[in-house]
Amino acid sequence: QFPRLSALDLSGAPDDIVSLPGQVIAELAGLSVLAELHLRNQFDLTAADLVGLAALPALTSLDLQGCCFRADDEVLPSLGGLTRLKHLGLSRTLDQEISRRPTLLQPLYPLSRLESIDLRGNVLAPLQFGALARLPALTTVHLDPDEAAFDVGGAQLVIADEALRLVNDSLMVWNKVSTRSEQ
């Protein structure tokens, strides 16, 4: 119906619980030039709903801020099929049980074009940031200093600078390894 639609915002209001039926996401498959999709505060989104987004050939930006995903739903693996993504918003999306998984960010490895990721408002272990080094195009990791909390043995420490140092160190090591393997 909208052959030239390149950006779509289906976000819910921050204070409202919004339920976007999975069939609506399935209907998006016909939007062949849709590059930017905002689904903020959609509380009923599931991994199955998000898998359908892989049918959007032009999708380069996906914002899922505030879509509180449950631990029993494999949401991040469902995003691995979105290989054209350059920008991914995951602010305030991961519950604490999901955040404690040591392999949390590994399902994002197929996103080789990802340039920026927003992880603000999530409780993450420092070792999880090393996984970001496997994303060759990644240049920006959004961490709010007031919210970038790490779960360290049950105690939360707010250390955004440390997270950035870990990501930077991991990127430097990964780039050295990648350069050697290409020679």
Determine the straight-line distance between the first and last CA of the chain, rounded to whole angstroms.
49
Element (H, E) at 98: helix 96-99
Q: How distant, in Å, are the alpha carbons of 109, 119, 140, 159 from that of 133?
A: 9, 15, 11, 19
Number of domains into which the chain is organized:
1
- pLDDT tens digit string along 107-149? 899 999 999 999 888 877 776 777 888 888 988 888 766 544 4
- Contact present, 146 and 158 (Cβ < 8 Å): yes
* Average predicted confidence (pLDDT) for the chain: 76
Q: Is the pLDDT of residue 157 over 50?
A: no
Which tokens hold the place of 85? Answer: 């993504």
Q: Which pLDDT belongs to residue 55? A: 86
Q: CA nearest 136: which of 177, 102, 95, 92?
A: 177
- Identify whether 2 is part of a domain: no
- Identify whether 1 is part of a domain: no
Q: Which pLDDT belongs to residue 3? A: 81
State mean pLDDT over 64-81. Answer: 79
| Lowest mean pLDDT segment, chosen from 15-29, 51-65, 91-105 | 15-29
The model's pTM: 0.76
- Identify whether 73 is part of a domain: yes
State mean pLDDT over 60-67. Answer: 92
Using pLDDT thresholds of 50, 70 and 90, give the confidence band for residue 152: very low
- pLDDT tens digit string along 4-47? 999 999 887 555 545 566 677 778 888 889 999 998 887 667 78
- What gap in Å lies between CA 73 and CA 48, rounded to an integer? 9
- What gap in Å lies between CA 77 and CA 73, rounded to an integer? 9
Q: CA nearest 138: which of 104, 162, 161, 172?
A: 172
**3-class DSSP state of 61:** strand
CATH label of the domain that carries residue 26: 3.80.10.10
- Identify whether 155 is part of a domain: yes
- Contact present, 5 and 35 (Cβ < 8 Å): no
- Comparing 165 with 122, the larger pLDDT belongs to 122
Q: How distant, in Å, are the alpha carbons of 12, 31, 57, 125 from that of 2?
A: 22, 7, 15, 42
- Identify whether 157 is part of a domain: yes
| Backbone region of residue 6 per phi and psi (left: phi > 0; alpha: psi in -120 to 50; beta: other values) | alpha
Domain that holds residue 51: 7-182
